[in-house]
């Protein structure tokens, strides 16, 4: 059971928009920055969003992040078949003194 | 170009030991926190351990505390993970990652597979 809760799966059609939620508590999301990662099978995970809403160089603005209270959200617009992957949120948990990830969300682009 | 290359994975019996290495290049290694993250077959990402740039701060997941030891050699641009008393549930791909104080990982290696089985 992950400390951060994500939906197991989401799906949408090409060109559409999807959001992935990440729910936590005051000891993690509520008081620390959230990051998001994209993981395609057999490859290294890729950082998509850091510090709640910042994009690393090279990440298109189709990807966005937001945080409110103890929840965070990853948004992806203009969905492409290449976006099919597992997505993870992550943050530091001050009570556990540990970095925690969500259980992951599998995105299917129909 | 930032590169992180893990090595040292393989098949080991329960109770055995293994030492993973991560060779870093393309950045000033001694300026960055480093980490190990793993993914068991069919499971999600799991943070394993972190070490600060000067080795002053070290953290472990509860699942490996007391069995795993993270270390680094800034002169050799290398990160290590000594894994002892290995269990079947330690079977996973282990990733070396570069980290920031706000707890995100901007570069990941390709991973090395550790299989614990008799």
Q: What is the pLDDT of residues A32-41, one digit of tens each?
A: 999 999 999 8
The percent of residues above 90 in pLDDT, for chain B, comes to: 97
CB A75 within 8 A of CB A62: no
Q: pLDDT category, A67, cuts 50, 70, 90?
A: very high
First to last CA, chain A: 28
Q: Is the CB of B40 inside 8 Å of chain A's CB atoms? A: no
Task: Give the closest-approach CA distance of A83 to chain B in angstroms.
Answer: 18
| Beta strands in chain A, from DSSP E residues, in sequence order | 9-12, 18-23, 34-39, 46-49, 63-68, 71-76, 85-93, 98-101, 105-109
- Of B35, B47, B108, nearest to A100 by CB-CB distance is B47
CB contact under 8 A, A86 and B35: no
Whether residue B110 lies within 8 A of chain A, CB to CB, comes out as: yes
- B 4-33 residues inside an 8 A Cβ radius of A: none
Question: Which of 64-93 (A) contact B at CB < 8 A?
Answer: 86, 88, 90-92
Q: How far is CA B17 from the centre of its chain?
A: 14
As a whole number of Å, the end-to-end CA separation of chain B is 40
Is residue A42 scored above 90 in pLDDT? no
The two tokens of residue A110 are 């129909």
Mean pLDDT of B61-90: 97
Q: What is the pLDDT of residues B11-25, one digit of tens each?
A: 999 999 999 999 999
Scan for tokens 């990402």, then name that residue: B45
Of A50, A99, A104, the CB nearest to B44: A104
Cα A107 to Cα A38, A79, A85, distances in angstroms: 10, 10, 6
- The CB-side HSE value for B110 (13 A sphere, CA atoms) comes to 7
């Amino acid at each position: 059971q992950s400390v951060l809760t994500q939906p197991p799966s989401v799906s949408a059609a090409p060109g559409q928009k999807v959001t992935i939620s990440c729910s936590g508590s005051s000891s993690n999301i509520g008081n620390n920055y959230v990051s998001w990662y994209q993981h395609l099978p057999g490859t290294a995970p890729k950082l998509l969003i850091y510090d709640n809403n910042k994009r690393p160089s090279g990440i298109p603005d189709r990807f966005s992040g937001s945080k409110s209270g103890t929840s965070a959200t990853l948004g992806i617009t203009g969905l492409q078949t290449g976006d099919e992957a597992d997505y993870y949120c992550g943050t530091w948990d001050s009570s556990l003194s540990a970095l925690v990830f969500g259980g992951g969300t599998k995105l299917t682009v129909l | 170009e930032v590169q992180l290359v893990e090595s040292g994975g393989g098949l080991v019996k329960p109770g055995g030991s293994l030492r993973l290495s991560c060779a870093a290049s393309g950045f000033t290694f001694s300026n960055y926190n480093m980490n190990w993250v793993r993914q068991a077959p069919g499971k999600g990402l799991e943070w394993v351990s972190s070490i600060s740039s000067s080795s002053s701060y070290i953290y472990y997941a509860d699942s490996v505390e007391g069995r795993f030891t993270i270390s680094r050699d800034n002169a050799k641009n290398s990160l290590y993970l000594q894994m002892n008393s290995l269990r079947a549930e330690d079977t996973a791909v282990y990733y070396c990652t570069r980290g920031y104080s706000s707890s995100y990982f901007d570069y990941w290696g390709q991973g090395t597979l550790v299989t614990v089985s008799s």
